[in-house]
Amino acid sequence: MFGRLVRNDAAWLVIFVTVVLLLPVILGRTGLSRTPFDQTPSEELEKLDPPPEVVLIGDSMLGTRIVPDQLSELSEAPVFVNILEGSASARWYLYLKNHLARLDTPPKHVVIFFRDRYLTDPTFRTSAQYQELLHATMQGEEPLVEALLEGSDQSRFGWLAEGFEWLYPSQQLRDSTGEYVVERAQKLTENMMADGDEFNVALDRTFEIDLLRSDMPSELASENLNQARFDASPEKSFLPHMVAIAKKNGWHLTFYRVKRRPQVGDIRTDEPEMKEYIQDLRAYLEANGATLVDETSDETIGIEYYSDGDHVAEEMQGAYTARFFERFKELFK
Amino acid sequence: MIFHSLDFIVFFVAVVALYWAMPFRWQNFFLLAVSWFFYGYVSPWFIGPLAVATLTDFLVAREIPARPGRERLLVAISVAINLGMLGVFKYFGFFVENVNAIFLSFGLTTFEPGLSIILPVGISFYTLQSIGYTVDVSRKRIAPCRSLIDYALYVSFFPQLVAGPIERSTHLLPMITTARTIDAARITSGLQLMLWGFFKKVVVADTVAITANKIFALDEPNFALLWVGVFAFAIQIFADFSAYTDIARGAARILGFEIMENFRGPYLSQTPHEFWGRWHISLSSWIRDYVYIPLGGSRCGPTRNMLNLIGAFAVSGLWHGAQWNFVLWGLYWSFLTIGYRALGLETTPLLSSVRSGAVGLVKILFLFLLTCFGWLLFRETNPTYLWKFMTLNPFTVSHEQLRVALFLGIHAMFFALPLFAYDILCRLPKSVTQAWRDRPVLRRISELAIACLLFVTILVLRSHAPSEFIYFQF
């Protein structure tokens, strides 16, 4: 009977389509999931007494510039410095949404350290090796993150996509499989070449922003990021969503554009496209109650401040922290 | 409209359902209408050049039998109009850029073209297909098509319109003019092919593309990292382009058409000649038949033959894009082909003994390395960077850099494995696979299991960074 069915072309077509479409329906219900949400940052924030009034967020640009203890000593207001290594806008957004916004006593000011256009590149630092860190900041389904990372869906059939997601709820399994593949590749690499620094640090160092060429897109962006204009559409970047969270929670949000390594002497000059981008970014932030501070044209931050790339040398971090405090004195009162 | 989009899935399901519900006399008109809809979905103006190419070659080809002795002139008109269009849309900017560079070197004033031209997708593919038709009519290989609808469908058939395969009139036109019958076995097989294509695109190509893009975005990658990037690009371009072909062939098969194969395990080739018989077959065979052989092919002296080869490969390179690196890539392959011939390496040993098998394996690996070098020329459009990459010192790679390169290489290899496994399976001798072929129930059940696995893999391992097909830019 079964053999006859299989041999019959029309019957087999029906069986084929039905099985292929229906079998994976059970997949999303397997219970396999990605790296769970990490509560630690929330717990750390809640433990702080008094609760922080100023919170600084950023990647190594913050980590190599600000000395947290020194800033706390200088400041009258309680300060919390959160260095998220290898992070970018996706994780900053998730940190604001899933940790900071849940505090009983909200901070007054949030300062985010960033470089150039990377604030509006949602995909920066979200590829395979960053997935685990990203997932640890995601609480349950994060449809906005998924949508922004995969590019805005231009389809006229969004309802079908939703139906598809409902039928095959494979996102968690997808994330955990991706993590597994990266983990296996890392294990294999470690087995072959065991010693050295922590792997992710080496990987981050290899693809540091200042090591990228100027005529190419950064990481996953399909268009040339270096030519890109500022775009405040909510479906293009996490920026408007961060601004919206700040508004909703009554924080004052400051985006702090660090000066990248000077090119000639102590000067760092922006290309005309970059100037236009920063102007538009400033106008957008000011119109939405946030602030942009750009230290790019500050010639007093000379080449002596820098170690490798855009990182500030350890011996200059104290001086930098003091400068930063002076600049934002009002904030820390 | 792109294949790996929801829009296409909705479009295709609707087209298939309506198409098979209507009588044959309406099917071609319907397919033409939906093909133009498919093509004009994003930019309706793209249909303009397509209509011009279609109408020109339809009318020119009709005149060929009516004007004996004027065949060459008529073919020249067709070629001039098609290449003229291609020249304006694809090579105008390149031409201006180079003329300006020459002017500058003589201290003369350069000129700015007052218009910026957008390249209609697929123009490089359908102009070749259309030129091929008029040449075939002039060579009396096929009679001129009597119906404009049928001919227009030949040029615009949506599965292969945007990125090929570049079909031959002698192959596709007879299928268009003959009634098709619905065949469940062919539909199943078409679905399998489409699924394999989707897998290659969204799981393999788009994932390894992230690695390739990241590495090629570095200002100074080290030697190990660069070659992992080149390897990732080699996998990406093969997976990406062959995925498009598989989806196109699968879609066409469901509609009752059998369009040509474009790839047959190219990375398992032992010689350049073999590689070009397995890579982008529709283009390489087109260039062979309509450029290389008319130039004299191999039926002339060795010097002339060599020049013919160089010319044919340069045309192939330039066809890919209006950049010098593509010409360089074409020339590179011509030199490889000539070099292999000169050294007597063109003969492929039969894999019948262990020794010849080992030699074959070495030749495969060696050619793969040479192919990867070719991909470096193809991928890097900036000559300054190309030179920088080609002169990287392999002995300055640190332990840490090697670790990172190794990790990225293993990650890319994981995604490349199914492609190599498939190509090796396809090369297995018939005697090995005969038992499987002889058991239809076992065959169908294993095909179903593979299809389920592919679909599941698409769901759980599809890339987080979907991208367009690479060959859309050509």
Contact criterion met (CB < 8 Å) for A24 and B10: no
Active-site residue list of B: 320
* Residues from chain B contacting residue A219 (CB–CB below 8 Å): 210, 213-214, 217
pLDDT level of residue A47 (50, 70, 90 thresholds): confident
Task: Label residues B246-285 b or e (16+ Cβ within 10 Å = b).
Answer: bbbbbbbbbbbbebbebbbbbbbbbbbbbbbebbbbbbbb
User: What is the structure's pLDDT at A220?
Assistant: 39
- Supply the pLDDT for residue A299: 84
Is the confidence at residue A82, as pLDDT, over 90?
no
Alpha-carbon distance of B303 to A89, in angstroms, equals 60
- Cβ <8 Å between A207 and B187: no
Tokens 């820098």 map to which residue? A306
Query: Which of residues A47 and A264 earns the better pLDDT score?
Result: A47
Residue B399: other Cβ atoms inside 10 A: 11
**Which of B184, B404, B460 minimises the CB distance to A206?**
B404
- pLDDT for A224 equals 45
Select the more confidently predicted residue: A278 or B433: A278
**A-chain residues within 8 Å CB-CB of B213?**
216-217, 219-220
Comparison of pLDDT for A273 and B417, the residue scoring more: B417
Cβ proximity of B20 and B182 under 8 Å: yes
Per-residue tokens: A133? 């860190």
Confidence class for position A215, pLDDT limits 50, 70, 90:
low
Which pair of structure tokens corresponds to residue A117?
């256009």
Q: How far is CA B377 from the centre of its chain?
A: 17
pLDDT score, position A117 = 83
Instruction: Give every residue of chain B whose pLDDT is below 50, as ranges.
Output: none
- Between CA B287 and CA B98 the distance in angstroms is 25
How far apart are alpha carbons B38 and B126 in whole angstroms?
15
- In this predicted structure, the answer to whether residue A301 has a pLDDT above a threshold of 90 is no
Predicted TM-score (pTM) of this structure: 0.82
CB contacts of B207 in chain A (<8 Å) are: 128
The 3-state DSSP class for residue A267 equals strand
As for the ipTM of the complex, it is 0.81
Nearest chain B CA: its distance from A71 CA (Å): 34
At A152 the pLDDT is 53
Given its phi and psi angles, is residue A169 left (phi above 0), alpha (psi -120 to 50 degrees) or beta? beta
Q: Which chain A residues contact residue B459 at CB under 8 A?
A: 24, 27, 168, 170, 173-174
Contact between A207 and B184 using a beta-carbon 8 Å cutoff: no
Task: Provide φ and ψ at A110, rounded to 5°.
Answer: -125, 130
**Partners of A294 in beta bridges:** A257
Nearest to A206 among B191, B401, B444 (CB): B401
A157–B411 C-beta distance less than 8 A: no
A139 pLDDT band, cuts 50/70/90, is confident
pLDDT of residue B139: 92
Contacts of A19 (CB under 8 A, 6+ apart): B448, B452
C-alpha neighbours within 13 Å on the C-beta side of residue B337: 22
A203:B183 CB<8 A: no
Nearest-CA distance B214 → chain A (Å): 5
Q: Phi, psi at residue A112, to the nearest 5°?
A: -115, 125
Please tell me the number of Cα atoms within 13 Å of B97 on its side-chain side.
Answer: 9
- Smallest Cα distance from B287 to chain A, Å: 32
Confidence of residue A195 (pLDDT cuts 50, 70, 90): low
Could B220 and A211 be called an inter-chain contact, meaning their C-beta atoms sit closer than 8 Å? Answer: yes
CA dist., res. B236 & res. B234, Å (int): 5
Percent of chain A with pLDDT over 90: 21
Q: Which of B113, B80, B95 is nearest to B323 (CA)?
A: B95
Extract the tokens encoding A22.
């229906």
pLDDT of A212 higher than 60: yes
**For residues B442 and B436, is the Cβ–Cβ distance under 8 A?**
yes
Three-class DSSP category at A257: strand
Count of CB pairs separated by less than 8 Å, A with B: 156
A62/chain B closest Cα distance in angstroms: 23
Amino acid B18: pLDDT: 96
What residues of B are in contact with residue A24 (Cβ under 8 Å)? 452, 455-456, 459
